[in-house]
Amino acid sequence: MLFTRRFIAPVVAPIVALALSAQLCTAQVVALKSESLQVRIDRLEQSDTENLFELGTMQVLRAVETSLQTRYEYGLGQEKSRMPMLRLPLPGGYNPAPKAPSPETLSNVVRAFLSDLEVARATLEKADAQSEAGFPLPLAGVWLDANSNGTREAGEGALELLGAVVLGRRGMRDFEKSELALNPPTVDFDKSDLAWLTAYTHMLSGVGNAYLAFDPTDVWANLAAQKAALKDAPQIENYFDQEALKAELARLEPMSKALNDEVEALRAEQKPINTRNRDIKAEMRKPETKADPEKLAALKAEQTALTDKLKPLRDAQNKASRAKRAMAAEIRALKAKTDESQLSQIRSARNARQFSEIIDRIYVVLTALAQQPDKAHVTAAYAHWQQMIAHNRTFWTRVEAETDNGREWVPNPQQTAALPITIDPEVARTWQNILADAEAVLEGKLLIPHSLLPAGYGINLKSYVENPTPLELAASIQGIAFYEHVARGPTMSSFYWSRLARLTGGNAGNFALFFN
């Protein structure tokens, strides 16, 4: 999982996988369409025959729904959707009257998500210990109430909301064109799929803890305070003599106009010459012209005369154009000194606000990474990723041992998938080799390569986890940020990932999300 090209996308992959999974009878689907996730969770918890696997699945979905609701509440919309655990776009537009987020709002969303995942994972682990039976999940009945209004609205269906994120736009278009979009198949989730979902919760928790290890709350708070202090910056009078500036502009602007007119006049004078030159070239390419030496010679002579006439005009235009550009730069510099220009700069700053917000986020990310990371969260992320791989191994062991042939999510070679997919045994083996490499990296048996380290050297991830250090950008690029974690030995390679890409026709990323 650590090798997926779209590392953030797995945040929603298990949800999509389950949302695509099943279809009950029509009466059941209709009954569930208006039932919220929390209502379903309450109903399952109060049932004497509750299915813990289904309950844990609903709790995972509810964790995602809660994060969407908080984002809607604070107006954390599309611009945040590429951040960890905030990849999903908000359906149905943004909150027209959001609360003002505080510096810790984003981190609180992550903390709440992690807490919700802990609850869901405890349910799933209890279901596994009790050998809980599988269950079907109706696609039509799954929706996430992003705006907390209690009503299902356009865009809140699980497939609408999650499909394009995991399947990709092309995959989603193909799905929508297929019969499956109108008649989703039923998938019978079983004990192997329980291990699959548990592995995903560990992966998500690992991502969340990695985020909190470099918690940007203090960076956001400092940035907000510094920006707020700008309003108290002292105002100084304009140093430049405004009357003198106006007089100089009044002198230069007619000169600039004259240069512009000169350039345009020279262009106009060259236009018929250039047109005639093109006509001559076209005429000279004709077979009958090539066959007439006298006519060809006359055209060449005319072409030479036109070139001689054109050269001084071009030279004059180039000279006038250079003077025009220099004059324009001089006028801009003068205008920048005027009081009117200050007002113009204020308007331009307003127009550049969106770009400024992007730069703010880049600054926060880089500054947060340059902090001393929280060791407890680094250790927790590491432990979750170890558990992710362990549950993954359990998942694949169980899949390969299955002898039934129901409506499978991930089939073994003897089974049939509910979705129109075929899993080549070599693809499955290659993915498990990728997991083995990931585990070796976590255990420090394989090193992470760095292009600026000497040959035969690499970064020991286990060493970093034991003593995490800041990841300042320049030091990380140069490599010195990792020197105390460097060791000599074998480094991980892209061999198995490249093989997976070859076997899946370049679709390794989506297969990785599907496989877990």
Token pair in block for residue 173: 């278009």
Token pair in block for residue 211: 């985020």
Residue at 458: amino acid letter? G
In this prediction, residue 134 carries a pLDDT of 85
Q: Is 359 exposed, middle or buried, given 0-12, 13-18 or 19+ CB atoms closer than 10 A?
A: exposed
In this prediction, residue 15 carries a pLDDT of 37
* Host H or E run for residue 356: helix 353-369
Separation between Cα atoms, residue 63 and residue 207, nearest integer Å = 15
In this prediction, residue 462 carries a pLDDT of 97
Token pair in block for residue 235: 């105002």
447 phi and psi angles, rounded to 5 deg:
-100, 155
Global confidence as pTM: 0.76
DSSP string computed for 25-71: -HHHHHHHHT--HHHHHHHHHH-TT--HHHHHHHHHHHHHHHHHHHH
Token pair in block for residue 206: 């690992």
Count how many Cα atoms sit within 13 Å of the Cα of residue 414 in the half-sphere of its side chain. 7
Give Cβ neighbours of residue 269 (< 8 Å, ≥ 6 apart).
Answer: 313
Separation between Cα atoms, residue 434 and residue 3, nearest integer Å = 8
Answer for the pair 468, 406: CB distance below 8 angstroms, yes or no. Answer: no
In this prediction, residue 179 carries a pLDDT of 63
Separation between Cα atoms, residue 41 and residue 20, nearest integer Å = 19
Answer for the pair 59, 50: CB distance below 8 angstroms, yes or no. Answer: no
Q: Helix 375-401 crosses helix 191-213 at what angle (to 10 degrees)?
A: 160
Stretches where the chain sits below pLDDT 50 are 1-32, 80-81, 84
- The helix/strand/coil state of 77 is coil
In this prediction, residue 157 carries a pLDDT of 76
Token pair in block for residue 83: 């951040």
DSSP string computed for 450-514: -TTSPTTEEE-HHHHHHS-----HHHHHHSGGGGGGEEES-B--SHHHHHHHHHTTT-HHHHHHH
Give Cβ neighbours of residue 467 (< 8 Å, ≥ 6 apart).
Answer: 484, 485
In this prediction, residue 470 carries a pLDDT of 97
